[in-house]
């Protein structure tokens, strides 16, 4: 994976082996259609997926309201004061995201959609070769992301879900709940598990 920007310099929570798996999946699938990610934050996964898409002159839709998930808010565990706009009294990662897209030269590949996931999906018509879910980690948010976007994945396409933890003491259970829901639906088959990332194939 030869990226135009060191992703270690980008704020985010994606491990190197997870980044490699995402890149390989997007490199394969982006020749069949566009890719979409939910939860861009500052763009770490966006650079990985976007660079893969660029190899096939494809597009990555990056969906994020950039106001932070529950855990990013002031006083919460993963709050970053550098991303908090004191004048507006709100979290805002979009400026940092845009700077990282510029550094990675991905403006012609990445299409930022600054919106909540459910609003962005309301009139969506484009089939997707791959969807990466890494948005809000409440059960309500994770279920909404899955229900809004899983149906847009092409047959043979990939559903990737981040932050899967089998045991509650290791992390929140919403992502693994939608992983299990996807498997139980009979529409998706697990194909790879790397650290806290799962890749499933649309049957």
What is the C-alpha separation between 47 and 109, in angstroms, rounded? Answer: 10
What tokens does 97 get? Answer: 């995201």
Element (H, E) at 129: strand 128-133
Per annotation, catalytic residue among 51, 72, 137, 162: 137
Three-class DSSP category at 99: helix
Classify each residue of 118-145 as buried b or exposed e, where b means 16 or more C-beta atoms within 10 Å of its C-beta: eebbeebeeebbbbbbbbbbeeebbebb
- For 109-203, where are the alpha helices, taking DSSP H only? 117-121, 139-149, 174-184
Active site residue 137: yes
Backbone angles phi, psi at 200, to 5 degrees: -125, 145
Q: How many CA atoms lie within 13 A of 153 on its CB side?
A: 27
Inter-CA distances, 111 with 17, 29, 191, Å = 25, 17, 28
Active site residues: 137
């Amino acid at each position: 994976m030869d990226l135009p920007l060191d992703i270690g310099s980008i704020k985010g929570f994606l491990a190197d082996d997870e980044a490699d798996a995402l890149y390989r999946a997007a490199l394969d699938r982006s020749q069949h259609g566009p890719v979409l990610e939910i939860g861009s934050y500052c763009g770490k996964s966006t650079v990985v997926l976007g660079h893969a898409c660029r190899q096939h002159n494809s597009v990555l839709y990056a969906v994020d309201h950039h106001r932070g998930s529950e855990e990013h808010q002031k006083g919460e565990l993963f709050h970053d004061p550098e991303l908090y706009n004191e004048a507006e009294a709100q979290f805002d990662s979009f400026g940092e995201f845009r700077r990282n897209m510029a550094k990675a030269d991905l403006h012609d590949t990445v299409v930022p959609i600054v919106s909540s996931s459910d609003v962005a999906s309301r009139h969506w018509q484009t089939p997707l070769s791959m969807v990466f879910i890494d948005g809000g980690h409440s059960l309500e948010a994770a279920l909404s992301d899955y229900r809004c976007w899983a149906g847009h994945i092409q047959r043979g396409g990939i559903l990737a879900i981040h932050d899967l933890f089998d045991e509650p003491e290791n992390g929140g259970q919403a992502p693994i709940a939608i992983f299990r829901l996807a498997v139980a639906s009979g529409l998706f088959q697990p194909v790879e598990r790397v650290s806290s990332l799962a890749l499933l194939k649309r049957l």
